[in-house]
Structure 1
Amino acid sequence: MNLRKKLLVVLASSAALLASVPGAANAGSAAADSLGIDVSNHNGKVDFGKVKADGRDFAFVLATDGESFTSDQFDSQYGGAGKAGVYRAGYHFARPDGSAGKQADRFLKTVGYTNDGKSMPPVLDMEANPNGATCYGLDAAQMKEWIKTFVGRVKEQTGREAIIYTSPGFWQECTGNSEAFKNNPLWIAEWGVDKPSKIGGWPAHTFWQYSDSGKVNGVDGPVDVNRFNGGAAELEKFVKG
């Protein structure tokens, strides 16, 4: 095979890989990105009609944390987003020092996900332990197995690949920068940068939490703000799966 043909094959293969990742086709075109927020019980009551009018197309809503906590704002926030025409997804704050299966089952029961055309896949929030060891006392192999169990349960019960939320620091330190989850859409948290880092073998992020101090109508005080790596048509396609 001559050099020109080899180059064409490599380019075609790279394009095919990127096309398989939600949002990858728009990588590097942030101006066209759909915008969204993520909220928890700390944000209290949210007026999603105002959020929508302020140009936000999607919202991530905390549902559960660990094996016992459920947000008392989840029903109001998740339901409010849907009624306002804001795409929504419930997320679970992982506590990997507890059972992945129990946490996944309780989370999924709380969210009650259905592919209704307005709900994004459920989200697994993997971040540093706020109360102790960063990696919850697990080594990289144990952490990967924990994540595998959780996202596997999501796939079994919903038919969708769970979105994984994480930061470059946590993923690199606690999973050894694992490339085992490239089929799961990546929601990366990285603030104060022009574009997010590449981690875990993902060719592109699907969502990017770019600040924790946004101001959005309908939310009292600062709120986490996000970009979808694509425009409105790509976001709709992603939601519908």
Structure 2
Amino acid sequence: MPMRRPLPVRSPRHPLAAGILLLALSIPLTLLFTLPARAAGTPVRGSAYMGMGVLAHDGRGGTPLSAAATRTEGVDVSGYQGNVAWSTLWNSGVRWAYTKATEGTYYTNPYFAQQYNGSYNVGMIRGAYHFATPNTTSGAAQADYFVDHGGGWSRDGRTLPGVLDIEWNPYGAACYGKSTSGMTGWIADFLNTYRARTGRDAVIYTATSWWTQCTGDYAGFASAHPLWIARYAADPGALPGGWGYYTMWQYTSSGPTVGDHDRFNGALDRVRALANG
């Protein structure tokens, strides 16, 4: 029986096709399935938290004096802290807490229930906050999203009004690409919608330097909205336009148990008064 000759291996007829084939064979398979990486240093959407930009933009200017009897210790927490040891915080003297509920209209805190209900269950007065991203959706849309995902209010004597956390953009330009008038309009949109949904005026959390830069030191919200000032220093320093006093002060990001510690500008009965409206 005659032996068959092996069939010849045919090369691509077109020289360009041959070049593409050789190039594909030279690329490691791992590279063919690698997705583009995020820009170095850019955090993941949803990972922002209260005071995220304070150290980078305001720095740390000293240690606060010991808490006076007329100030009440509190904490603020978010998803990156996971399950919080609330009994430890209670035993250390913490009496109120705020938990991040939402960010933009795309993120809800997966640990919200443990953090929000856990603080309440040990006896604390608690509330929820929203991390604003004014360049993604409208103020009204974000207020609705916040209320619908844990940011509401109830007259039970232990639920604080919601907080609008408005500060440096961790994902891009500090003022989210908005003019000062555009920013104040966005904030007003959020605040008006929150009040319409809950009957309460939201607290505003911010830092004086950001407020001056991004709102032009606008003074029009001070008469109705309590101020939560962020400054890691020996005192709260100068306040944003219109506010003659602060209601809360975030004074450190390196306190015991959870890091972010705050002081209410009054005794515990004043915390209850804010909760009661």
TM-score (normalised: structure 2): 0.73
Partner of 1:181: 221
Match for residue 254 of structure 2 among 202, 213, 217:
213
Q: How many pairs are equivalent?
A: 209
Match for residue 134 of structure 1 among 174, 197, 214:
174
Listed as ranges, the gaps of 5+ residues in structure 2 are 1-64
User: Within 1, Cα distance between the matches of 2:264 and 2:98?
Assistant: 12
Equivalent residue runs for 1:20-99 within 5 Å: 31-32=68-69, 33-97=71-135, 98-99=137-138
In the alignment, does 2:181 pair up with 1:109?
no
Partner of 1:25: none
* Max Rg structure: 2
Percent identity for Structure 1 against Structure 2: 41
- Return the structure number with greater helix share: 1
Deviations along 1:42-72, one digit per CA (max 9) or x if unpaired, are 1110121221111001111000011101110
User: Within 2, Cα distance between the matches of 1:50 and 1:103?
Assistant: 33
User: Within 1, Cα distance between the matches of 2:221 and 2:121?
Assistant: 32
1:29 deviation in Å? Answer: 10
Listed as ranges, the gaps of 5+ residues in structure 1 are 1-27
Deviations along 1:174-220, one digit per CA (max 9) or x if unpaired, are 0000001111000010012323322121010000000111013xx4x
In the alignment, does 2:274 pair up with 1:235?
no
- Return the structure number with greater strand share: 1
TM-score (normalised: structure 1): 0.83
- Partner amino acid for 2:105? E
- Partner amino acid for 2:213? E
Structure 1's consecutive aligned runs of 4 or more residues displaced over 6 angstroms after TM superposition are none
- Partner amino acid for 1:47? A
Deviations along 1:117-143, one digit per CA (max 9) or x if unpaired, are 111000000011111110000001010
Distance 1:43 1:172, change over 3 A: same
Measured on the aligned residues, the alpha-carbon RMSD in Å equals 1.5
Larger RCO (alpha carbons 8 Å, 6+ apart):
1
In the alignment, does 2:211 pair up with 1:159?
no
User: Within 2, Cα distance between the matches of 1:71 and 1:125?
Assistant: 15
Deviations along 1:11-41, one digit per CA (max 9) or x if unpaired, are xxxxxxxxxxxxxxxxx99512000000000
Match for residue 225 of structure 1 among 250, 253, 261:
261
In the alignment, does 2:241 pair up with 1:200?
yes
